[in-house]
Amino acid sequence: MAANPKAVHNSIKPGKWVRSTCKMCLHSCTNLIHVTDDGVINKVEGDPTNPSNRGKLCPKGNSAIMRHYDPNRFKQPLKRTNPEKGPNVDPMWEPISWDEAFDIVAGKLKEALEDDPRRIVPSIEDFQKMGVWNWPLAFGCGNFFQSGGTMCGGAYHPVNGYVHSAFAGANDAKYCNFWLNDGTGDGFSSHLHAAAQSAWVAEARSERGMKCVTVEPRLSISAAKSEQWIPIKPATDRQFALSLCHVLVNENWCDFKFLRKDTNAPYLVSDDGYFVKNSEGKIYVWDTVANQPKLWDDPTIGKLALEGHYTVEGKACRPAFQRFKDILEDCSPEVMEPLTTIPAKTVRELAKRFYDESGIAQDLKIEIDGRILPLRPAAYNYYRGAQGHKLGFQTNHAFKMVNFLIGSIDTPGGHMGVTLDDQWVDNSHVAMGENGMLHPTPHQLGPLPPFAWPPTTFHLINYFPVGVHPPHLNMVVFEDPEKYGVDFKPDTMVVCHSNPIWAMQGPREKWFEYMRSFKFIVVVDIIPTETTQWADVIMPSNDVFESWNMTMIEPPHTEGMCMRQPVTEPLYDTKSEEDIFNELSERLGILDAYNEVQNMVLGFHHKPELKLQPGTRYTDKEIAERRGKLWNDKDLDWYIEHGHSVTERRLDKWYRPWEGMRLHFYIEDMVTLRDDLKAKMEAHNVPFRHEWAFDDYQPLPTARLDPVHEEPPEYDLYGMFYKDVQLNFGESLSNPWIQDIVYRDPVHIALMLNPATAEKKGLKPMDIVKVESPYGMIYGRIGVSQGWQPDTLGVSNALSRTKGKLGGVKHAGGHFNDLLPYDLENTDGVTGQPETVCKVKITKLNDWPQFLKDGGSVYDMIDELSEPGKGRTHH
Amino acid sequence: MARWGMVFDLHRCIGCNACVIGCKQENSLPDGVLFTRTLSEEYGVYPTVNRVYIPTLCNHCEDAPCEKVCPSGATYTRDDGIVMVDSDKCIGCGSCAVACPYDQRNELKADLFKNGLFGEGELTPFEEQGYIRFTPGMVTKCDFCSGRVDEGLDPACVVTCPTDARIFGDLDDPDSKPSKLIREKGGRAPLPEKNTKPKVYYVNWTT
């Protein structure tokens, strides 16, 4: 682009463009940063050479400059001088040198480490720097206190690991013609690479006429852009999916060829839930031609039975498909209608639509790269809201089952496994497992602490064999450590780019108590947050324009590496995360172990010449260069010139990478792992074993109600929360540009009700209310919209910040997550996924509580933006 | 000479507001000042309800009411049809804001330049380098990123739009993307009854 000395538009002022990568969410759109001849960063645009985001950026990506120049940034290391800690208590920061900061922090960590590493609680959440995230492994620490597990995909990732051997899932925008979104913004407003996926999906909608249907309690952006919005009562999505499956199975609208050839649906399962095996451990199937049992790999098999009841090796058994059909018997749309509030007719029409669009009847095929592949251009897509429930594993599995039945898994037009990061270009994420089945990889973020009694971790992950860390269970143990056999007391916390005190579920007051119990807290971060207020020492890190990195995070249609490079010298006395954790590691005597952790986590062992060597510290630049070389053997100069190595995903890895293996329609591991956990708990007399949720372990999804539906009847509405693209993933509410769009949007400025519900309760728009659940309470102001399922109260994430000295953040009347349970009763026994919907009751108040009258609240800002002449943008 | 115009594809627009912030970046806009906005309009009754996202900006009218009423000659139309505001000539009378039927004129009150985007009475280096283009008190608006257009670039809101819902080009060229869309999809200009002859059109009203 040209430089014009008289230009008033920022992008054409004299200066240079630097290639880099966005970090306004965890994903990794590449961008072009314009820096003026005077060294001011004045424009960020998408990188048009990247086939992922194609020159586009979402509103968050467009707002990065305001993070960089935020006057509230930490400008040097800080030490607390006020010993009193609290959400509104000024820490009275005193600037200190880096030397002093390292002396204090390393001293405190060393003391804890030498006594008992379990005293240290990490809260390290930089998805773009997985090496840093995994730093605690260098001293064998399994504790965890960050919101990723709770509010991300606690059950989502393990189920993707079982079904696709991948981290995430997304529909194939290239060939899909009929796209159902359930409780997700994929392709419209959130989740995977929002700007990129919106571009791909808009192209599919506009140029190929792809049709979308959205199932959600609210008229989301996805719903507004769909041909049909199907409102659903919160926390009933699994029952809805099962009712769809009921129709598909009972009408024979299934891809039986796929189920027989590519899944374990024909494998015989005995009544105890295990596959029927011979003495060598080989699984039986039933051959309907020979009318006899055969081993799964017997070349003489005529036709595999999917249905029927048999006896093999003396055991009564059924094919896995028959077992699912039996479960579905009680799941008709008519049975589910009173629960989901979705008319049975709608479900039946939708099932027909799935069948018609899937191309099963015509057995559609497509040739891609010389391979003839089944074309199944219909798929069920879902994420956070739909699956974040107590029975999360079963819920995710139920959604996958729709795709299993119509044969649309990992095939053109279908529902695809999306890897987090392939690390090197020819890395395959799939492998053959036992008995012809795909090797399942439920632990997508690496191995977790194994069973132990007494527990080695404070949040009970030792008892969730396929779990993602359940951070909310820190509170369960904190309240009763004896019951859970915990004989240690965590008192030293290391936080890095993580804000659990904003995001953790359960009342804030409880978490304040938890934080008060820590003797020492160090926080590595850029700006003040709800959590930095509790720190004893702040170690400020460089921001995205001041540092190196190389990453790729779960892109739906592309792969490669995206480079971040410094556009400017650090504005302040800050350091890279690598320098901070290297120095701490050296002082703690764990540098060699940390380098080994990074070798493992970042995949350097694959190319031994890239391995980090003992005794050496590696900078962010050196790690970035190695990551790039690991991907495609290109050095940093190549990346500086090109910015990224992103290409469309290699089609042999994207479509049916598991060719010749069978997918886990039936997840026998649920039975195996349940019995294994039971036996271990029994053998160790684990005192809480009798209340453990073994029933949650189901090899096929069931219609069992989540306990949220059984809360006392006085809580007569379902509370749910939501984000759109301006709020997608981490913090952006301190950003003035984001504030200027979010707080003009009617769906983000009030607690939302359907007008009929409001009227029934005698509530009007702008009424001030108290919202209570059995677990907590928040305040807010009512808004109404026809776009809400009438049993639902919607609370935007824009109304979630808490009061404190948080720079530009505007506090609201409490966080929605205050209303959520943090107990084991509402936690998935399989994965640790907690319930994220709650039952609530609303009480009208005459006035705001005092803390919302002091000024500076989000509602003050909303009122200001609503004044005439303030350019309010919505009607 | 081209005659620049824009088409908004309402089927594509997802109301994400990337355009709004892309514009704030490009134009160094003070807090609360928007050269482009995305309106959202809900219609219907539950459960047959929907919402449409409607991007808006200055329509660069052929018969621009703001230009007609401007007493100082600050508002003028370039040969390529872009309606401009000369910050040196604008006296801040606000007549244009009253005359514009689309509410696209923004008064830049002096305190905006003092308080800054973070409201702390201190300007960021980004603001320092950007605000020099404005005269406090002036009443300004979108200029289709005229400087970028002169360099052969699309406006900032267009290049960042994730769904390509904003299509910019020469309305006098029958083969340009916007001309084709207007012709083939029946593009409609906003508030035709005002006879302002906008150079901005909307297609795919039913989403």
Of A829, A34, A789, give the one whose Cα is nearest residue B28. Answer: A34
Q: Is A139 left (phi over 0), alpha (psi -120 to 50) or beta?
A: alpha
Check whether A873 has a pLDDT greater than 80.
no
| Selected residues 782-801 of chain A with any CB under 8 Å from a CB in chain B | 785-788, 790
Name the residue in chain B with its Cα closest to that of A739. B32
Phi, psi (5° rounding) for residue A117? -60, -20
CA angle A753, A759, A765 (to 5 degrees): 55
Please report, for the domain that includes residue B84, its CATH number.
Answer: 3.30.70.20
**Average pLDDT score over chain A:** 96
Residues A680-688 have a mean pLDDT of 98
Q: Which of A59, A70, A808 sits opposite B16 (nearest CB)?
A: A59
- Token match 């009122």: residue? A863
The whole-angstrom separation of Cα A745 and Cα A75 is 33
CB A353 within 8 A of CB A178: yes
Of A299, A283, A318, A300, give the one whose Cα is nearest residue A433. Answer: A283
Pick from A40-49, A141-150, A249-258, A722-731: least confident: A141-150
> Could you say which DSSP state residue A857 is in?
B
Q: Is A570's Cβ below 8 Å from some Cβ in B?
A: no
Q: Which of A56, A189, A875 sits opposite B41 (nearest CB)?
A: A875
Assigned architecture for domain A78-152+445-648:
3-Layer(aba) Sandwich (3.40)
Residue-level pLDDT at A584 = 98
Contacts of A38 in chain B (CB under 8 A): 129
Residue-level pLDDT at A461 = 96
B16:A189 CB<8 A? yes
The whole-angstrom separation of Cα B91 and Cα A578 is 54
Phi, psi (5° rounding) for residue A805? -90, 75
The whole-angstrom separation of Cα A724 and Cα A744 is 13
Pick from A396-405, A561-570, A696-705, A855-864: least confident: A855-864
Q: Compute how many other C-beta atoms are within 10 angstroms of the C-beta atom of residue A32.
A: 20
Residues A827-838 have a mean pLDDT of 96
The model's pLDDT over A500-521, given as tens digits with 9 standing for 90+, comes to 999 999 999 999 999 999 999 9
The whole-angstrom separation of Cα B133 and Cα B125 is 14
- Contact partners, residue A299, CB within 8 Å, separation at least 6: none
Contacts of A188 in chain B (CB under 8 A): 14
The CATH code of domain A172-418+668-675 reads 3.40.228.10
Phi, psi (5° rounding) for residue A212? -125, 145
Phi, psi (5° rounding) for residue A393? -60, -50
The whole-angstrom separation of Cα B20 and Cα B1 is 28
Domain housing B80: 4-203
- Token match 């808009």: residue? A202
In A288-408 the beta strands, taken as DSSP E runs, fall at 292-295, 310-312, 315-319, 365-368, 371-374, 378-382
Q: Is B37's Cβ below 8 Å from some Cβ in A?
A: yes
Of B15, B16, B60, give the one whose Cα is nearest residue B41. Answer: B15
CB A554 within 8 A of CB A191: no
Name the residue in chain A with its Cα closest to that of B56. A873
Contacts of B108 in chain A (CB under 8 A): none
A171 membership: H or E segment, kind and range: strand A168-171
> CA–CA distance from A10 to each of A60, A156, A462, A473, B108 (Å)?
18, 42, 54, 49, 18
**Boundaries of every domain in chain A:** 10-68, 78-152+445-648, 172-418+668-675, 707-866
Contacts of A870 in chain B (CB under 8 A): 32
Domain A707-866 adopts which CATH fold?
Barwin-like endoglucanases (2.40.40)
Mutate which of A4, A10, A227 to test chain B, going by most B C-beta atoms within 10 A?
A10
The model's pLDDT over A447-472, given as tens digits with 9 standing for 90+, comes to 889 999 999 999 999 999 998 999 99
The model's pLDDT over A588-608, given as tens digits with 9 standing for 90+, comes to 999 999 999 999 999 999 999
| Selected residues 490-549 of chain A with any CB under 8 Å from a CB in chain B | none
Check whether A871 has a pLDDT greater than 60.
no
Of A221, A710, A688, A130, give the one whose Cα is nearest residue B40. Answer: A221
Residue-level pLDDT at A228 = 97
Mutate which of B9, B11, B12, B17 to test chain A, going by most A C-beta atoms within 10 A?
B17
Q: Is B38's Cβ below 8 Å from some Cβ in A?
A: yes
| Selected residues 137-166 of chain B with any CB under 8 Å from a CB in chain A | 145-148, 150-151, 153, 156, 159-165
Tally of structural domains, chain B: 1
Q: Is A72's Cβ below 8 Å from some Cβ in B?
A: yes
What tokens does A604 get? Answer: 């350097």
Phi, psi (5° rounding) for residue A274? -90, 150
3-state secondary structure of A135: helix
Contacts of A737 in chain B (CB under 8 A): 21, 24-25, 117
Residue type, A158: P
Name the residue in chain B with its Cα closest to that of A728. B16
Name the residue in chain A with its Cα closest to that of B107. A869
Phi, psi (5° rounding) for residue B194? -85, -10
Q: Is B7's Cβ below 8 Å from some Cβ in A?
A: no
Contacts of B122 in chain A (CB under 8 A): 71
A42:B17 CB<8 A? no
Q: Is B44 left (phi over 0), alpha (psi -120 to 50) or beta?
A: left
- Contact partners, residue A433, CB within 8 Å, separation at least 6: A439, A440, A661
Q: Which of B31, B34, B130 sits opposite A42 (nearest CB)?
A: B130
Domain A10-68 adopts which CATH fold?
N-terminal domain of TfIIb (2.20.25)
B119:A808 CB<8 A? yes
The model's pLDDT over B10-68, given as tens digits with 9 standing for 90+, comes to 999 999 999 999 999 999 999 999 999 999 999 999 999 999 999 999 999 999 999 99
Phi, psi (5° rounding) for residue A718? -100, 125
A875:B12 CB<8 A? no
Contacts of B20 in chain A (CB under 8 A): 59, 740-741
B118:A199 CB<8 A? no
What ipTM did this prediction achieve?
A: 0.98
Q: Is B191 left (phi over 0), alpha (psi -120 to 50) or beta?
A: left
Residue-level pLDDT at A757 = 98
Check whether A431 has a pLDDT greater than 70.
yes
A221:B14 CB<8 A? yes
